[in-house]
A and B are shown apart, each in its own frame.
Chain A
Amino acid sequence: MKCIPLLVLLSFCNISIEAQKTNSFLIYSVKGSVTTVENNKGTKVKIGKLLTDKSRLTVGPNSLVSIICNESSLFSVTKAGSYSMEQFKDSCQANKSSITSNYLKFIWNQLTTPKGNPEKNRKNYMNNVGAVSRTSISVWVDSRFDTINYNNGTFPVSWKCYSDADEFTFEVYQMARGGQPVYQKTVTKTSIYISDFAAQLNPNTAYYWKILAKGEESDERKLFFIWDNASYEKLLAQLRNTQKEFETVAEENFRLGFLLESARFYSEAYQHYKKAAQLNPSAQLFQKTLEAFKKDYNIEQ
């Protein structure tokens, strides 16, 4: 019982600390004349500038500014005037729903949206279309590139284009949908080497990439995952040890190449296929597989 007043006091302190937290505002987009006053000094705001509660923002006529608050919520100011950033603190409330409220929302939605069953209410169940789609997107990416695992080496991510587009934008994101690209490059070829962008990404993090021809929308984003050395070596050791029977080094490399290709480690698979073909040049299977692999993934000779 003695603990209760202490708990109440701690809770009160926690609430007070939460209330005292300052907000940080990041300028996300600017159009027109937007200035900020900090420490009695006025400057024109630029994308990426960080403001605090104490900053003051002046938006000119026909201007707008979009701001991200506390890495969570985005809002825009379009009306001309001078604003204290503190007055935007209500826009900083992130939509952090608790598990309970999310669960209750889910239950609510489930309970209030009766759909019947496919036999009795077929119109609600006719969303499955049994036809392949040939959309207006002219860029085609092999479905094997839906997921790319990577640890080392050089390997081209390639695509085909059915239009006359001569410029493509390759983008890498941290999210499957939405967000800003963490890597962007315009290329004129129909491929890009993984090593060109992998160095700028963090290992053990899921990234999503897409390729778009100029003036076109793109297909869904594909997964790209960089394995750190320790994890990759562990996986490789596991794959190596799955075969207990005798095999030559060339055969082992060929098997590893096959297993790694299946596991979508294309760059690493290529290295093992190459090694197998080099170690045993007389083996037709190794040579032909390597040739087919190069052809499949558009690897230049």
Chain B
Amino acid sequence: MQPPKRPLKKNRFVFIKKSYQWLHRFYLRYLIKRDTILATFSVFFVIGLLGLLPFDSGILNPFKTALKDLDFNDISYSVLHKNAGTPIDNRIIIINIGNADRLGLAAMIEKIRQAKPKVIGLDVQFAGPKDPQHDSLLRHMIGSTPNLVIVSRIDWSNKTNTEQVGYFGIYTPNRGYANFIGEDGGTIRNFSPFEKVDGKFYPSFATAIVARADSTAYQKLKHRKKEYEVINYSRKEEQYLLIDGLDLLENNTTTDFFHNKIILMGYINPDPYNVEDKHFTPLNAKFAGKSIPDMNGIIVHANIISMLLDANYIQDVPSWLFWLLTILICWMHVALFMRYYIEEHIWFHIVAKMAQIFFAILSVYIGIQFFSWFNLKIDTKISLIVIILAIDIIYFYEALAVWLHSKFGFKTNFHSKSH
């Protein structure tokens, strides 16, 4: 006689229960052990202590130095081509000024303004006087074109004249600083929309252009009240309408379609080895290591303008959530490391290294996906550092716990004979 069949639901429940019991015995019980919690706390305590050091220890730390200008989110652009499917932004037209002199630039502005564009942005710095006739013509153009925005430069080392307006800056109030945020020769990932100098707010070049082109987008940016914004690089040079300034001057191109558009006048050189006004961006084919700059300043400005017009901002994970997640990740890893450290020490290093590799791949993948799908930036570097640091901290914690145990009877799962 066959035994009666058990109901499937009950079977499943037993399986889940047994699985849980096994998992609890194997790993979960370590999560709530005092040693795990204290070791996790020690990891962050050590990070805090390192942060308190009055000097920059980065140079002695090859890991930190190597990661200095590395952002795993760059992989989204350089490897996964986050921007690949973005259509051409037909709100912006870029005029390549090439090597045009001041007379040439004045002639270009004259042609462009006749077509009544929304805004004209001239991304050129003028250090001093040159030919008096040419200077006079350009000065006239700048002064008599109300929708022309020119660039200035913020120099924080200059206490009395922080905004360097250049030779023609005094002839127009329409200025925006062209500074980006980044290490010298490093990747440009951020820009600051406004800077406050002596109580007065100065807009960046892109902000000043958007203020004249789209007041809604401008108000949105203003209300964010952020000191810096992460640039959402949506387009490369070829994803903007690009016109050669010479063609414009020689009437080889019509200006009819300039009407109601944002016209950016800047320098572009297709020669990859010409690095004049070129910057490293996350779109660089080499996301780490030595390379050559990949994007002209005007295209970076264009990307910022596109981002502001679309309000397509990159969001940061709130600090509290970021640290909560980091602590959680660290706690789970420390529990796993503790288990192998105490119970199966022979496997400890192999498991720890495998866990680190697995987590490194997983965290970078999750970070990239969040960045690609939701424009949400998660800095996965910190959690990686925490996991790497955890192993050394466990060794330190063991020694401390054993010493406390022998001196003060501190209860610990570590004991001096374990290794």
Q: Which residue numbers of A lie inside 8 Å of B, CB to CB?
A: 106-107, 110-115, 118-119, 122-136, 138, 140, 143, 162-164
Contact = CB atoms under 8 A, between A and B. Distances in A.
B277 A118 contact: no
B26 interface: no
Given A126-B192, A132-B266, A132-B297, 11 more contacts: A107-B60, A112-B55, A114-B55, A114-B56, A123-B156, A129-B178, A129-B179, A130-B279, A131-B151, A132-B123, A136-B127
B56 A110 contact: yes
Nearest to A126: B179
Contacts of B181: 118-119, 122, 125-126, 128
A48 B35 CA distance: 78
Contacts of B337: none
Contacts of B145: none
Given A125-B181, A128-B179, A143-B274, A134 B129 contact: no
A107 B131 CA distance: 48
Contacts of A113: 56
Contact of A129 (B58, B125, B167): B125
Given A126-B154, A143-B276, A133 B125 contact: yes
A125 B59 CA distance: 18
9 contacts: A111-B55, A119-B190, A122-B227, A130-B277, A130-B297, A131-B178, A132-B297, A136-B129, A164-B131
A262 to B, nearest CB: 10
Given A122-B192, A122-B228, A163-B131, A132 B267 contact: yes
Interface string B226-251: 01100000000000000000000000
Which secondary structure dominates where chain B touches chain A? loop
Contacts of A123: 156
A131 B60 CA distance: 35
Contact of A130 (B178, B190, B271): B178
B298 A130 contact: yes
Contacts of B178: 129-131
Interface in B96-116: 97, 99, 101-102, 105
Interface of B: 54-60, 97, 99, 101-102, 105, 123-131, 134, 151, 153-154, 156, 167, 178-184, 186, 188-190, 192, 205, 227-228, 266-267, 269, 271, 274, 276-277, 279, 297-298, 300-301
Question: Lowest 3 A-B CB distances belong to which pairs?
Answer: A130-B297, A136-B128, A132-B267
Given A122-B228, A143-B276, A127 B179 contact: yes
Contacts of B192: 122, 126
Given A111-B55, A130-B178, A138-B131, A122 B276 contact: no
Contacts of B105: 134
Given A115-B56, A119-B190, A143-B276, A125 B183 contact: yes
Contacts of A128: 179-182, 184, 186, 188, 279
Contacts of B99: 140
Contact of B300 (A124, A127, A130): A130
A162 B131 contact: yes
A125 B269 CA distance: 25
Contacts of B266: 131-132
Contact of B277 (A106, A131, A135, A136): A131
Nearest to A111: B55
A134 B101 contact: yes
Given A126-B154, A134-B102, A118 B130 contact: no
Contacts of A122: 181, 190, 192, 227-228
A135 to B, nearest CB: 4
Contacts of A111: 55-57, 59-60
A132 B128 contact: no
